[in-house]
Structure 1
Amino acid sequence: MTPSIGLGQGVALYVSAILGAGVLVLPGQAATLAGPASLLAWGFSCLLGVPLALTFAALATRLPHAGGVSTYAAKAFGAHAGGVAGWWYFVAGSVGQTIVPLTGGYYLASAAHLNQHWSYLFAGAILLTAALANLAGIRTSARVQVALALTVALVLLVASLFAIPHARAANFTPFAPHGMSGIGSAVVVLFFAFAGWEAVAHLSEEFQDSGRDLRRATAVTIVVVTILYLAIAAAVVATGTYGNEQTDHYAIGKLLQSAIGVGAGWSSAVVALVISLGTTNAFVASVSRLGYSLARDGWLPRRFGHLNRHSSPAGGICLVAAVGGAGLILAWIFNWGTQQIVYIPSTLVIFVYLLGTASAIKILSGSSRVIAVIGFILTLVTVPFAVGHVLVPIVIALGALGYRAVAGRGRGAAKEPARSAPG
């Protein structure tokens, strides 16, 4: 891998990975699940993000490697733990590339007054564009990311500020209509919104100065993401812009419509396109590096462990795009929306963070270990609310171990010398 990422590009990649397409639908979806008390879920998730961000930054600084959490888990608990962690995050990140482009597709189809089936076609175009940008190399991809991240941050800030005149105190009562179970369900869903703290770790060996810039980029991103997420979530609740699937899909668009008036449909669609493309671009870059590392370590077919002439993991990029594209096809066939799919990556990310912080507790020392302990405990609090989906990480773990066993036997047979025929 060629070191080419500077501080500004690192912040842009981080912000786009965290402040992704989830911000378009999750504020409304979380408010529908928990009512105004969804703000507690957002607050908890932002609080949880701090020790997780600092922990993964410390790990990435100490072990800059494309494997990310797979590398950390392998060092702490052995190769099998690393392989399982890698499969968990690879599946989460790849399935996420069904959800993220589809979110942008919803906005584009709505603005054009097209049937929602067009959302899947637009989503495919977003995914393809991100894959092609990554095949051109991380330098090109990161430069594009800076402009996308700045645009996203500015638009969300404008939408939040212009929502203030439309806020109503009555929209905060009843505060917790669905009790603690609703808040807990919202926290699980919001894990998808904060899944990017680990993502940039896979790009750590491509930072020009990972020891300095990774920590600085993490600190800047924590502040930016916390402010913008809490602001937009509060705006959705205060204006009552949630309550059904259609409104949840277009909550940010409705806020922008009241902010800028005529033409807001297309304006919000353009914003959704920028957010979706930026997030997809960042995650394809990150998850493809993980696929490259897993292939080199024997946890995926070797063909995915090669670089193209731009030093990009072409096999990993194509595999991520293929999984995301297959998800879009299945979603179109079975008429799935983001609400039905988001629990898969969200649940997997919870288990990735548990294993990642546990690895950090074993690997790191001093204050970094204390921060990792805090992150582990806060993540553990969310597990009871994800029990209904625990089959997902179990199946993925069995798939990883099964592949390793079969691939290992195949390599052993290939290395065994041929025997001559009797007689």
Structure 2
Amino acid sequence: MDQGTASPAPPPHTGLATRLTRRKPVRRLVAESGQGEGGTLRRSLGVWQLTMISIGATLGTGIFVVLGEAVPEAGPAVVLSFVLAGITALFSALSYAELAGTIPVSGSAYSYTYATMGELIGWVIGWCLILEYGVSVAAVAVGWGEYLNELLDGTIGVTLPAVVSAPPGHGGIVNLPALLVVLLAMVFLLGGARESATANAVMVVIKVVALLMFCAVAVTGVRAGNYTPFAPLGLAGVNVAAATLFFSYIGFDAASTAGEEAKNPRRDLPRAIILSLVVVTVLYCLVAAVAVGAMPWRDFTGSEAALARVLEDVTGHAFWSVLLALGAVIAIASVVLAVLYGQTRILFTMARDGLIPSVFSRVHPRTGTPRANTLIVSAFCGLLAAAIPLGRLADATSIGTLFAFALVNLSVIVLRRTHPEMPRGFRVPLSPLLPLVGFGFCVWTMVGLDLITWTVFGLWLVVGLAIYFAYGIRHSRLDALDGEAR
């Protein structure tokens, strides 16, 4: 079949249920790897770059910004909330590692579920990933603006007025700094995957050093009394904070979106995913423990640049907080870059399958990147960042991610049964037990999110299903009567 044209519509006798549950053969997924309309993605990333992409997409807003929202929900026990969110992410990370090493394509969870659970479920997961990555970019960009203001105030005594640094309803008209950082990330991505990965790696090193510096300075202000009572809001508060902080772990799966640009994906993708999660979890718990020990937990309320405030309170002057703000500005910019990269690659794969317009799969011949895709996605994410406050963006991102992660865990079990012979660069131990535990943790954490978040998520799914039935099912390149083994 010509990959550049849509497959013929299924015969009239093909039932709707058959079309909704048709699966894309795993071998076809792998065979199409890298192929886009008008060009091919370039395999230029090794395990170091892949690990840096995952750390770059994960380590940032969660610890620099969302910590200020989570501490009032759990008190000093926010450290346990980080552990709980990390364990939830770990089980899903193991499943991602197996699937990324088995099906090394750019579609991440979308491709995995398309191959194991059928087209409709694949579409739903792809739609959730659009929510995860697209809204996450906007949320991270909003946090970047907070630390940019902190940096400007500490260095030149200037603070951007709220009218141009806050969204409507929060004292402003438009959040220009948030829009700016998205556009800067777009410029890097248009230059090519390898160039973007190099810039990201440099920024990752800087932000790890910044967090270690925070711990070294803030630990001098730790007071034992700040840890009591340890869990003032009980286990319920720990769970609510964990649901919020799960946003901090979103991004470890970013390496899986680089499956078609990795040099040795079966070997390197699992290593990058697991290594990045371990590094991030250790740093999060260390920073959180020092932060709540250095400043009373009630003082975190309303503080989006929480770590900078802790340093200023501990040292009594602004030098260290300004230095941290500089690290945070660089750190959060790398998250925007890495997550925006992941979003474009998922849309690239969905477009190649015909479920969204082909413009998203067009590869520029000189840079080997999906240029039109990158421009469109950046414009959308930039507008979201400029107009919507952080809290709602973070919760919406978390619920979409948890839903996708839950089905990734199930996909491991299904693929083990349907394709046991396929080579796997990594195997989840104690399967199906650990994938089922991962599924359960995801569901439990979702329950901790509020009704408004669930309502927004429900509306998002309704819109996604409407688009699928109006466009995707009619343009899908997967013929339901294809004779290939499924």
Pair in the same fold by TM > 0.5: yes
Code of the residue aligned with 1:224 in structure 2: it is V
The one of 266, 278, 286 aligned to 1:211: 266
> Deviation string for 1:45-68 (max 9, x for gaps)?
122222222211110110011111
Tell me if the contact between 1:29 and 1:242 (Cα under 8 Å) persists in the aligned partners.
no
Moved more, 271-280 or 238-247: 238-247
In the alignment, the residues of structure 2 paired with residue 200 and residue 216 of structure 1 have an alpha-carbon distance, to the nearest angstrom, of: 10
The answer as to 2:342 corresponding to 1:290 is no
Cα 1:177–1:71 change in 2 (3 A) is same
Aligned residue number for residue 195 of structure 1: 250
Cα 1:375–1:145 change in 2 (3 A) is same
Aligned residue number for residue 469 of structure 2: 405
How many residues are paired up?
407
The answer as to 2:127 corresponding to 1:91 is no
Code of the residue aligned with 1:30 in structure 2: it is A
Aligned residue number for residue 272 of structure 1: 328
List gaps (5 residues or longer) in structure 1: 413-423
Tell me if the contact between 1:109 and 1:118 (Cα under 8 Å) persists in the aligned partners.
no
The answer as to 2:376 corresponding to 1:330 is no
Tell me if the contact between 2:352 and 2:358 (Cα under 8 Å) persists in the aligned partners.
yes
The Cα of 1:241 is off from its aligned counterpart by: 5.8
In the alignment, the residues of structure 2 paired with residue 127 and residue 241 of structure 1 have an alpha-carbon distance, to the nearest angstrom, of: 34
Moved more, 42-51 or 358-367: 358-367
In the alignment, the residues of structure 1 paired with residue 316 and residue 196 of structure 2 have an alpha-carbon distance, to the nearest angstrom, of: 31
Moved more, 296-305 or 7-16: 296-305
Cα 1:316–1:286 change in 2 (3 A) is same
Code of the residue aligned with 1:16 in structure 2: it is G
Cα 1:297–1:394 change in 2 (3 A) is farther
The one of 388, 392, 415 aligned to 1:363: 415
Aligned residue number for residue 440 of structure 2: 377
Aligned residue number for residue 351 of structure 1: 403
> Deviation string for 1:182-213 (max 9, x for gaps)?
22211111121111122221111211111222
Code of the residue aligned with 2:374 in structure 1: it is I
Code of the residue aligned with 1:94 in structure 2: it is G
Alignment of 1:3-402 (within 5 A): 3-112=43-152, 113-119=159-165, 120-240=175-295, 242-243=297-298, 248-257=303-312, 258=314, 261-309=317-365, 310-331=367-388, 336=389, 338-364=390-416, 367-368=428-429, 369-370=431-432, 371-386=434-449, 388=451, 389-402=453-466
In the alignment, the residues of structure 2 paired with residue 215 and residue 170 of structure 1 have an alpha-carbon distance, to the nearest angstrom, of: 42
Cα 1:340–1:228 change in 2 (3 A) is same
> Deviation string for 1:98-119 (max 9, x for gaps)?
1111111111123323324443
Cα 1:87–1:251 change in 2 (3 A) is same
Code of the residue aligned with 1:317 in structure 2: it is T
Tell me if the contact between 2:71 and 2:300 (Cα under 8 Å) persists in the aligned partners.
no
> Deviation string for 1:111-152 (max 9, x for gaps)?
323324443212211110101100111010001111111111
The Cα of 1:387 is off from its aligned counterpart by: 5.7
Cα 1:409–1:158 change in 2 (3 A) is closer
Moved more, 359-368 or 228-237: 359-368
In the alignment, the residues of structure 1 paired with residue 361 and residue 316 of structure 2 have an alpha-carbon distance, to the nearest angstrom, of: 48
Aligned residue number for residue 484 of structure 2: none
Code of the residue aligned with 1:315 in structure 2: it is A
Cα 1:116–1:350 change in 2 (3 A) is same
> Deviation string for 1:7-37 (max 9, x for gaps)?
2111211111121222111222211111112
Tell me if the contact between 2:354 and 2:475 (Cα under 8 Å) persists in the aligned partners.
no
In the alignment, the residues of structure 2 paired with residue 155 and residue 275 of structure 1 have an alpha-carbon distance, to the nearest angstrom, of: 9
Aligned residue number for residue 421 of structure 1: none
Code of the residue aligned with 1:320 in structure 2: it is V
> Deviation string for 1:328-368 (max 9, x for gaps)?
3323xxxx3x1232111111111111111111221136745
The Cα of 1:386 is off from its aligned counterpart by: 2.6
Code of the residue aligned with 1:372 in structure 2: it is P
In the alignment, the residues of structure 2 paired with residue 212 and residue 57 of structure 1 have an alpha-carbon distance, to the nearest angstrom, of: 10
Aligned residue number for residue 36 of structure 2: none
The Cα of 1:226 is off from its aligned counterpart by: 1.7
Other structure's SS at 2:225 match: helix
Other structure's SS at 1:192 match: helix
Normalised to the residue count of structure 1, the TM-score between the two structures is 0.90
Code of the residue aligned with 2:350 in structure 1: it is L
Code of the residue aligned with 2:463 in structure 1: it is G
Aligned residue number for residue 480 of structure 2: none
Other structure's SS at 1:207 match: coil
Tell me if the contact between 1:253 and 1:265 (Cα under 8 Å) persists in the aligned partners.
yes
Cα 1:408–1:161 change in 2 (3 A) is closer
Tell me if the contact between 1:42 and 1:187 (Cα under 8 Å) persists in the aligned partners.
yes
Tell me if the contact between 2:151 and 2:326 (Cα under 8 Å) persists in the aligned partners.
no
